[in-house]
Structures are given as C-alpha cells and as structure tokens.
C-alpha cells in the first residue's frame, strides 16, 4: 500500500459538544488556490510534544487524526525528519535554524549537571546574537503570535515578546496539567503561564489544546487582515500527564489491551507495508530492564492500557482543535495563502513517575491527582505511558525520548499550503533546523551563509530537487551526552545511562533503521571517519562532555530536590524547629530520669 495514498488508519472522526468548539470540523480540504504573487504567505507552525513517528493516522498510528492527515495529503509528509531528543533544545532549533548549543539551549534545567551550569551554550536561554524566525519575519512586516509551551526561559529578556513575538500566551515549564493551572511534578511549584510577558491565570473551563487554539484565533483577529502572520502553537499533547475529554478517549478502550509487545510488532509491520522502512528491516529488542506484559497483574495491565487509550484520545483531541483552526482560516479567507508545518519536538516519553517512588505517590495525592484505571483522562488524572509503551510507540525505531536512537530523534513532519507541490512522501534527510530557513525563504527573505545550520527545503517542496543536502555532509545532534551523527546511509550513535551504556556504535540506517547491527568493528575505517566528523561537530558547536557516571534519572532527582528546597524552605525550617524541640524534650526527659535514679 502506498503511504501517500493512506488517509489514516484510525477510527472515524467525531466532533464532541463537551469540547465547546468555536467552529465545527471542516470537510475535505479543497485544492490550493494560488494567491497573487505580491502577497507573502502566512505561516502556521504546530508543534506536538513527545509525539512518536507513527502516532498520527497518516503515519500508521491508532489515533484518529483526519485534519492533520488532510494537510499531509494536500502537501508533503517526511519520512526521514529528525529532531533533537529533548524538548527545549528542539524548540530552540526550530525557532532559530541553529544547532541547540549555538542557541544557548543545549539541554534543559531539569537534567543539567552542576558542572555545565552557566557555561557558554548552556545558559538555557537564547544567548546574545541569536535571532528567531519570529524576529526575521517581523522585520519583513509579519505580525507574530505564539501560544503554548515555551520552556526557553522566563527571566528578564527571555520571554517570547523579547524574541520577536507581538502577542503570546505561554507556559514556561517542561509540562503542566491540561485541565488546571498546576504543576505536574515536584520540580515546579505551580504552572508558570505568561501572557505578553506578565504572569497569567487560566480560565476555569481550560483544556490545553482547545485553549491554545482559541487564544491563537483571538490573536489572529486583532491584526490587519491584509498583513501576513506567523502563528506558532506549542501543544501540550501528549506530554505527561496524558489527559483528554473522555469522549475522545473511550473509543480506544480495547485498542491496547494486548500490551506493548503486540503494539510494537503491529507498528513495525505497518511501517514496512507503508514504506516507512524497507521490507524485512529488523526490529530492535527492547532496552534492558523493561518488563514483559505478562509479568503485570491484571490491574496493572488495565492501568497501562487505559493510559494508552488516553494518550490516543489526547492526540485525537489535538487534531480536533487543529481542525477548528483550519476552519477559522477557511472562513476568513486566509487558508489558501497559509503554509502549515506540523511536527513533534522528540519521540515518546518513557518516564514512569510512580516506579518505586513513594514520595511521588504522596505528592500526586496531595496535588489532587489520581493514578487509576477507573479514570478516563479528565480532571485529576495522572496518566503516563511508561518506558514499555513508549518503546512500542517508537516502533520501528529503537528506544525513545531523550536518547539519540531512532525512537528519540525520528519524528513526523508535514508541510502543506502555498508553494508546496502535493507529492508522495519525501525520504530526504531533513532536520528541525531546516524549518526556520525554509519559512524565511518562502517569505521571500535571504540570509547570510552562516545565519543557519539548517538548509532551506524550498527546492524540495517546489519539486525542483529530491534532496536537501549532499550525502557526504555530516549532520550531528547532542543533548546531555546522548549523541548522533548522520552521514549518507550511516549513523554514529551513543546513549548514556540509565538505558544506554556510553559506547559509540555505527549503523547502516538505510537497511537497519532499527539499529540492530553494530558495524563499528566490521567497518573500522568508516567508524573512524564518522568519529572524526562528530569530534569536529562537537568542537564547532561547543559541546561539553558529561561528568563521569552521569545518569539523567539521578540528575533530575538531584535537581528536583534542590528546587523543592527553594520552594518549600519554610516547611524545612519548620520541620527543623519541630525536630529540635523534640530533641530538646527528649534530652530534658532523659536528664530528669537520670536525676530520679537512687544513688
């Protein structure tokens, strides 16, 4: 079956009154109408959070995503698109077209070791001289808007208004609740939302995907209709906690009951049938330490199957609200002159916050969360898919988010709209850093040769080329020690603890996208060549080596404890005073007992 002919493999589309949409879902997308040459295109960039390569219907996923699928059919979908393995570095790369180290956002504050804090490239904010695509387009007369996850700094000079956005309503955290203004992990005391640079409060009827689209529609209505716009929405779907209206999630009640091994195999088979990977390409074994589905109790199986159902429902809810945005643009006559980009920041999230963590269980209860198979994803749900289902979702790739294996880097990307010739899926090597130069070129702009690390996709999108960069040009990624370098058909990769061992490996990614056959010893010359290319990449971009024994799971625990000490110092002081009082009382009692004894 040709992949570009697939309209989606999910369930039928249904609109739900409980989501309080402002507009109904649109029907089939009409053929693009070419605007006048003088009118610059509008841009809508839609960024999902932790979405796997095959999560969308058009990519063979279980979730029903008719609106995003329609964009793919109207334009171009990409089958070899790579992002960084972690959220903020990817977002910095998307907005600037630069390697994450050159932006200043080499990693995220939750996992950075003390040795890297404050070093060049590791300030975790846009450093001086870094220019966003919003700034570039604003200089060309665009109005610029953003809603959703920012996570690129909230200090003076760090919010979207300081980097080219006219209006913004954003979350500066790695994630948050989707129904209320509250944190999803102890690292954050609350959910830090900002509107136009000032702390903001969420409405009582808040649901993240609906609100972010509503807010963007409001912003679009404030500017002149004849002025082009750049609209960037950073969805919370499908970051922890996975949450969605029950009407979206219940239809997937039976979809994942066979477990993660069955899901991983089924996606691998569909990937071959659709041409995502070559026929017969091997599937990697799960990372060491993951559980067998049959080792779980019936209660645990029901819990994880329910969480996956909520995950699929959250994807469908996001698609539903993307449809409302598209309907608005059609209604206002702006659709045909708009270029759409849809992608994900990295692969699926493997965290299981409840794994052996009694303190996390107490924290979730104290914050009104329930981890229960009886909850369908509504307010108070604390849903997560865990490492086993994340590994299944990442199929046919290996591993998942945070790691430089295919499951962490290889994600979906779709572009459609003005100037983009509808065509079969592109297998050209493309990266998150290519988006900013592409948008600037589509807007008619040019840049200095060193302005971007990425390359413009315009020749490919117009049908003039089948490639983006020569095969001999190496492309590197690094976040917190997890690193990869692509060159032609080959990939060099290293992953650190807890799921990696720190060894460099070499794969023929064209024939072995599952990364199952390490060629580092069989092809030592090629291995040495790519290692030299990686060292050059690391030197050019200021990549720092990780401290000996670095483990991201341990580091996030250390950094969270430090944050909690800042957030709850008064409780610690109070506890200390109570303990001192108890100790004083015990000492007085002991002294009194000593005096009472007869000589």
Q: Is residue 427 part of a domain?
A: yes
| Whether the predicted pLDDT of 584 surpasses 80 | no
Report how far residue 94's alpha carbon sits from residue 100's, in angstroms, rounded to the nearest whole number.
9
Residues 471 and 587 both lie in one domain: no
- Higher per-residue pLDDT: 587 or 502: 502
Q: Which residue from 304, 264, 232 is spatially nearest to 62, judged by alpha carbons?
A: 264
**Confidence class of residue 430 from pLDDT cuts 50, 70 and 90?**
very high
> What confidence score (pLDDT) does residue 585 get?
55
The CATH number of residue 373's host domain is 3.40.720.10
Q: Is 513 exposed, middle or buried (0-12, 13-18, 19+ CB in 10 A)?
A: buried
Residues 323 and 422 in one domain: yes
Confidence of residue 565 (pLDDT cuts 50, 70, 90): confident
Catalytic residue among 151, 239, 307, 320: 151
In the predicted model, what is the mean pLDDT of residues 27-38? 41
d(CA 216, CA 429): 31
pLDDT at 528 over 70: yes
Percent of the chain residues topping a pLDDT of 90: 80
Order the strands of the 229-234 sheet from edge to edge: 76-78, 413-417, 338-344, 42-48, 229-234, 143-149, 167-171, 193-195, 198-199
Q: Which of 304-318, 343-357, 552-566 has the lowest mean pLDDT?
A: 552-566
Q: Count the domains in the chain.
A: 2
Among residues 294, 298, 306, 238, the alpha carbon closest in space to that of 261 is found at: 294
- Same structural domain for residues 320 and 460? yes
Provide DSSP, 86-124.
Answer: SHHHHHHHHHHSS-HHHHT-SS-TTT--GGGTTSTT-SS
Do 53 and 186 fall within a single domain?
A: yes
Does residue 583 share a domain with residue 462?
Answer: no
Q: Is the pLDDT of residue 520 over 80?
A: yes
Structural domain contains residue 146: yes
Q: Does residue 488 form part of some domain?
A: no
Q: Contact, 76 vs 411, CB < 8 A? A: no
Query: Is 77 part of a structural domain of the chain?
Result: yes
Output the pLDDT for position 355: 85
Q: Half-sphere exposure (CA, 13 Å, Cβ side) for 357?
A: 17
Q: Does residue 411 lie within any of the structural domains? A: yes
CA distance 72 to 66: 10
Mean pLDDT (whole number) for 324-342: 97
Least confidently predicted of 199-203, 403-407, 447-451: 447-451
Q: Is the dihedral of CA 173, 179, 180, 183 positive or negative?
A: negative
In a domain, 314, yes or no: yes
As a whole number, mean pLDDT of residues 88-107 equals 98
Q: Tell the residue number behind the tokens 């807007």, with chain if given.
A: 443
Cβ neighbours around 163 below 10 Å, total? 25
Query: Mean pLDDT over residues 325-339, rounded?
Result: 97
Confidence (pLDDT) at 36: 46
Predicted local distance difference test score (pLDDT) of residue 567 = 62
Among 139-153, 321-335, 348-362, 430-444, the range scoring the smallest mean pLDDT is 348-362
Over range 330-337, report the average pLDDT: 96
Both 333 and 239 in one domain: the answer is yes
Predicted confidence (pLDDT) at residue 248 exceeds the cutoff of 50: yes
Which residues span the domain enclosing 563?
A: 559-591
pLDDT score recorded for residue 369: 94
Give the model confidence (pLDDT) of 252-285 as tens digits.
999 999 999 999 999 999 999 999 999 999 999 9
For residue 325, the number of C-alpha atoms closer than 13 Å in the C-beta half-sphere is: 31
pLDDT at 5: 38
* Residue 14 scores a pLDDT above 50: no
**DSSP type of residue 60:** T
Question: Going by DSSP bridges, is the β-strand pair 229-234/167-171 parallel, antiparallel, or unpaired?
Answer: unpaired
Write out the H or E segment, with its range, that includes residue 217: helix 208-220
Of 6-10, 96-100, 110-114, which range is least confident?
A: 6-10
Answer yes or no: 151 catalytic.
yes
Predicted confidence (pLDDT) at residue 99 exceeds the cutoff of 50: yes
What per-residue confidence (pLDDT) applies to 21? 33
Q: Let me know whether 70 and 183 are in one domain.
A: yes
Same domain, 341 and 219: yes
Q: Exactly one of 87, 101, 163, 320 is catalytic; name it.
A: 87
pLDDT, position 115: 96
User: Running DSSP on this structure, what letter comes out for residue 279?
Assistant: T
DSSP per-residue codes, 427-442: -S-EEGGGHHHHHHHH
pLDDT of residue 588: 57
**pLDDT above 60: residue 580:** yes
Please report which confidence band the pLDDT of residue 578 belongs to, taking 50, 70 and 90 as the band edges: low
Q: Are residues 181 and 291 in the same domain?
A: yes
Question: Taking Cα atoms as reference points, which of 437, 519, 431 lies closest to residue 475?
Answer: 431
Report which of residues 236 and 562 the model is more confident about: 236
Q: What is the pLDDT of residue 31?
A: 38
**Is 572 a residue whose pLDDT tops 70?**
no
Residue 576: inside a domain: yes
Residue 87 known to be catalytic: yes
Tallying the residues shown for the chain, one arrives at 599
C-alpha 428: how far from chain center? 22
Determine what percent of the chain is predicted with pLDDT higher than 70.
88
Q: Which residues of 560-571 are buried (b: 16+ CB within 10 A; e: fewer)?
A: beebbeebeeee
Across 465-471, average pLDDT:
94
Per the prediction, the chain carries an average pLDDT of: 90
Q: Is residue 364 part of a domain?
A: yes
How does pLDDT run across 124-182, given as a tens digit for each residue? 999 999 999 999 999 999 999 999 999 998 888 999 999 999 999 999 999 999 999 99
- Residues 222-240 have a mean pLDDT of 95
| Same structural domain, 454 and 577 | no
pLDDT tens string 33-45:
344 456 899 999 9
Domain boundary among 456, 475, 494: 475
User: Do residues 230 and 330 share a domain?
Assistant: yes
> What integer pLDDT is reported at residue 448 of this predicted model?
87
**CB of 65 within 8 A of CB of 315?**
yes
Decide which of 441, 475, 509 is a domain's last residue: 475
* 470 in the same domain as 566: no
- Position 75 pLDDT exceeds 70: yes
**Among candidate residues 422, 443, 475, the one where a domain is terminated:** 475
Q: State the pLDDT at residue 10.
A: 37
pLDDT attached to residue 209: 98
């Amino acid at each position: 079956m040709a992949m570009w002919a697939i309209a989606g493999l999910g369930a039928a589309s249904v609109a739900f009154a409980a989501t309080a949409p402002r507009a109904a879902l649109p029907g089939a997308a009409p053929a693009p109408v070419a605007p006048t040459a003088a009118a610059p295109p509008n841009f809508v960039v839609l960024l999902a959070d932790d979405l796997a390569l095959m999560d969308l219907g058009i990519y063979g996923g279980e979730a029903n995503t008719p609106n995003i699928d329609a964009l793919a059919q109207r334009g171009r979908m990409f089958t070899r698109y790579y992002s960084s393995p972690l959220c903020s570095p990817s977002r910095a790369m998307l907005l600037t077209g630069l390697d994450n180290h050159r932006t200043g956002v080499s990693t995220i504050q939750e996992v950075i070791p003390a040795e890297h804090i404050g070093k060049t490239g590791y300030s975790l904010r846009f450093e001086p001289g870094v220019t966003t695509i919003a700034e570039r387009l604003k200089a060309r007369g665009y109005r610029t808007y953003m809603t959703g996850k920012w996570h690129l700094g909230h200090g003076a000079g760090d919010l979207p208004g300081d980097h080219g956005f006219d209006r913004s309503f954003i979350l500066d955290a790695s994630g948050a609740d989707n129904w209320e203004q509250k944190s999803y992990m102890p690292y954050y005391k609350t959910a830090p939302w900002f509107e136009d640079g000032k702390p903001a409060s969420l409405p009582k009827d808040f649901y993240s995907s609906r609100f972010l689209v509503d807010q963007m529609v409001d912003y679009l209505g404030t500017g002149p209709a004849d002025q082009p716009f750049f609209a960037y929405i950073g969805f919370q779907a499908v970051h922890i906690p996975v949450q969605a209206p029950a009407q979206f999630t219940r239809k997937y009640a039976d979809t994942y009951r066979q477990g993660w091994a069955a899901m991983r195999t089924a996606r691998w088979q569909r990937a071959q049938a659709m041409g995502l990977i070559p026929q017969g390409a091997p599937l990697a074994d799960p990372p060491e330490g993951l559980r067998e589905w049959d080792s779980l109790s019936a209660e645990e199986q029901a819990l994880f199957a329910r969480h996956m159902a909520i995950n699929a429902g959250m994807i469908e809810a996001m698609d539903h609200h993307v449809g409302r945005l598209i309907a608005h643009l059609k209604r206002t006559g702006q659709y045909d002159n708009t270029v759409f980009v849809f992608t994900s920041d990295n692969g699926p999230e493997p965290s299981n916050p409840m794994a052996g963590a009694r303190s996390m269980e107490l924290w979730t209860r104290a914050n009104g969360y329930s981890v229960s198979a009886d909850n369908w994803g509504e307010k108070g749900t604390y849903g997560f898919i865990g490492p086993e289902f994340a590994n299944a979702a990442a199929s046919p790739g290996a591993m998942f988010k945070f790691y430089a294996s295919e499951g962490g880097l290889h994600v979906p990307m779709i572009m459609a709209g003005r100037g983009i010739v509808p065509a079969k899926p592109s297998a050209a090597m493309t990266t998150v850093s290519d988006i900013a130069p592409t948008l600037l070129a589509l807007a008619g702009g040019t840049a200095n040769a060193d302005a971007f690390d990425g390359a413009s996709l315009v020749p490919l999108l117009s049908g003039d080329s089948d490639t983006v960069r020569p095969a001999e040009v190496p492309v590197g990624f690094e976040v917190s020690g997890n690193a990869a370098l692509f060159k032609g058909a080959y990939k060099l990769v290293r992953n650190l603890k807890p799921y990696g061992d720190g060894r460099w490996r070499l794969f023929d990614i064209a024939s072995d996208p599952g990364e199952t056959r390490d060629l580092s010893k069989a092809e030592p010359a090629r291995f040495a060549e790519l290692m030299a290319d990686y060292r050059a990449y690391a030197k050019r971009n200021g990549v720092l080596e990780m401290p000996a024994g670095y483990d991201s799971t341990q580091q996030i625990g250390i950094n969270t404890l430090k944050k909690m000490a800042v957030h709850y110092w008064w409780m610690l002081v109070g506890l200390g005073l109570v303990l001192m009082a108890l100790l004083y009382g015990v000492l007085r009692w002991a002294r009194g007992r000593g005096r009472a004894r007869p000589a």
